[in-house]
Amino acid sequence: MPEPTQNFLIRILVLWNTVITILLIVLFVLYFTDGHKGLENSAVKSSKISSTEERWTTTTPPSLVLSKAKMISFKLITDKKVYFMSSTDITWRSSEPKETVISQVGNGLSMNVDGYYFLNLQVTVRPGCPITDQSNVSLVHIQDDKEDQTLLEGSINKETNSTGILSKVVECGAGQKLIFNINKSILDCVDDEKHKTHLDIIFMPRP
């Protein structure tokens, strides 16, 4: 296939993935904000719960309790000075410097608030990168009392040089972590432009 035609098809595919992702995000936000509003308004607190007991019904610090959905975007930093030539020191930088819901830790992120997290991951490598069957990325859910769970996993497509959009909704408690893993052979050629490699998370507080 001629290279101009191939590049055109790649742009169409990326645009289509972006449109689908935006639609999913909008539907997800509407569901948890409007769909649960009626349930919240009709809920009645039990008279048996004292003010002291009610104070301890959540593990989330009062200063971090949120009542609305929030979207947070993260950019993968590929600076060798950050990596210190090691594939384990991967930094996801938040678009909001004073972000409190999610904190950067090691090669992943730490959840600071109980709630639902809509994960949206895409990784793209530069043309010419040696792609093999082992060119994979993954996002793993770390919980202290449970076995680690792989939430998102994908391989680099040789035609598009990208994983495409990897999405999933997960319920996380405060203190739990999301760890990003990437094959060392493709780490050095990740295209870190924000629209090509990014991790977007929509946070929803529990009803």
pLDDT confidence of residue 187? 86
The domain containing residue 153 runs over which residues? Answer: 3-43+60-205
pLDDT confidence of residue 108? 86
Q: pLDDT by residue (tens digit) across 85-118?
A: 444 467 888 888 777 899 888 778 999 999 999 9
Residue 73 maps to a domain: yes
Residue 150 maps to a domain: yes
C-alpha distance from residue 192 to each of 79, 92, 110, 156 (Å): 10, 11, 22, 15
Q: Could you tell me which residue, 20 or 88, shows the higher pLDDT? A: 20
Q: Are 178 and 103 in contact (CB under 8 A)?
A: no
pLDDT average, residue stretch 53-79: 61
Domain count for the chain, please give it.
Answer: 1
Residue 166 maps to a domain: yes
**Residue 49: pLDDT over 90:** no
* Res. 177 pLDDT band, cuts 50 70 90: very high
pTM of the predicted model over 0.85: no
Residue 49 maps to a domain: no
pLDDT confidence of residue 110? 92
Q: Could you tell me which residue, 50 or 126, shows the higher pLDDT? A: 126
Give, as one character, the DSSP assignment of residue 60.
S
> Whole-number mean pLDDT of the chain?
75
**Residue 79: pLDDT over 70:** no
Q: Whose CA is closest to 176, among 59, 15, 20?
A: 59
Residue 50 maps to a domain: no
pLDDT confidence of residue 63? 44
Residue 83 maps to a domain: yes
pLDDT confidence of residue 38? 43
Question: 54-93 burial string, b = 16+ CB within 10 Å, else e?
Answer: eeeeeebeeeeeeeebbebebbbebeeeebeeeeeebbbe
C-alpha distance from residue 2 to each of 6, 118, 156, 162, 178 (Å): 6, 38, 21, 20, 41
pLDDT confidence of residue 183? 86
**Residue 40: pLDDT over 90:** no
Residue 26 maps to a domain: yes
Residue 55 maps to a domain: no
CATH of the domain at 14: 2.60.120.40
pLDDT average, residue stretch 164-180: 93
pLDDT confidence of residue 94? 87
